[in-house]
Amino acid sequence: MTEKQFKISGMSCDHCVKAVNNELSGLKLNSYDVEIGLAKITYEETIVEENEIIAAIKEAGFEVVD
């Protein structure tokens, strides 16, 4: 199991948080907690790849930053 924090740029309100939550809900993640500018995600690398998580965040309209 992998636990990782993703820094997200462009988020400014609860609507942004809901948009990211909505996209992440479509993935088979163990758990996730989204707040403005950050997503803490626990997942199995054999089931979900990191690039799928980043793509879901991008689909919500935001960018993952280092």
Residues in the chain: 66
- pLDDT, residue 12, reads 95
pTM: 0.93
pLDDT digits over 20-63, tens only? 999 999 999 999 999 999 999 999 999 999 999 999 999 999 99
CA dist., res. 35 & res. 63, Å (int): 14
Q: Where are the alpha helices (DSSP H) in the chain?
A: 14-24, 50-59
Domains of the chain: 2-65 (3.30.70.100)
66 confidence band (pLDDT: 50, 70, 90): confident
